[in-house]
Amino acid sequence: MLAILAESALRSLILGSIVWIGLNLLRARNPNLHMTCWTMVLVASLSMPLLMHWTTVTVTVDALPMPAAEHLWSAENPLTDTSPEPLGSLLAPRTDVPAAALGWHAATVNWLALATAIYAFVAGMLLLRLAVGLYLTWRLARAAKPMSEPWTADWSVRVSNVIAGPVTFGSTILLPPQCFDWDLRKREAVLAHEGAHVVNRDFYLLLFASFNRAVFWFSPFAWWHLTRLAELA
């Protein structure tokens, strides 16, 4: 599991580096082009573990024929000692094997379990934080008062007393109470800005980017990727 996630993060980093280099070499300045490219990188990053799991191929190789024992050891070989060992020597503990070698496998398993526990704890905390944030924002949007005014057009607009500026939650535009003091031009400008977020599905895009950061929290690229998509949005 951890190996697949680590390799997926490395592949995503390589893909993101290629996209970043390509955009800079082409001197692309169109934000829509940048958003499209980094959205494709996000989709590839989220699907990378599944693609790696499904494309794993197990190759079965037939065992090579083993020569007979009499061909391996000749009776004339002076180094061969066929005399049976005493029973006491078989039951006695081995003193020629270092203790570190005997516990190597157990130590490896313990480190793997510790790494898995640390990864699960951090990822779980980030996912829990994301879920709590979604729930609280959903409650905020649900408690907001719907607004039906001519200047709201066909947008789903609500007014909330607990926010200081306009925000977008899904397809709902939340406005502060100060919106009643705005003139018509400012209201239209705010709706045009927030409506662009709704049309571009920026809320859902950043939600998936936050989920990607929680899964690949150990990769600096996942944190940079979310920041970059937020800037472009």
* pLDDT attached to residue 157: 92
pLDDT at 46: 93
Please state, rounded to an integer, the average pLDDT across all residues of the chain: 83
pTM of the predicted model as reported, rounded to 2 decimal places: 0.73
Q: Which of 53-67, 68-82, 101-115 shows the lowest per-residue confidence on average (mean pLDDT)?
A: 68-82
Q: How confident is the model at residue 51 (pLDDT cuts 50, 70, 90)?
A: confident
Query: What per-residue confidence (pLDDT) applies to 110?
Result: 84
Strand order in the sheet with 172-175: 145-147, 156-159, 172-175, 167-169
Which residue's structure tokens are 């879920």?
131
pLDDT in tens, 136-145: 999 999 999 9
Q: What does DSSP say about strands 156-159 and 145-147: parallel, antiparallel, or unpaired? A: antiparallel
H-type alpha helices, the chain: 2-25, 31-54, 69-72, 87-91, 99-102, 104-143, 184-199, 202-215, 220-232
- How far apart CA 6 and CA 8 sit, in angstroms, is 5
Distance of CA 99 to the CA centre of its chain: 39
* pLDDT tens, position by position, 114-135: 999 999 999 999 999 999 999 9
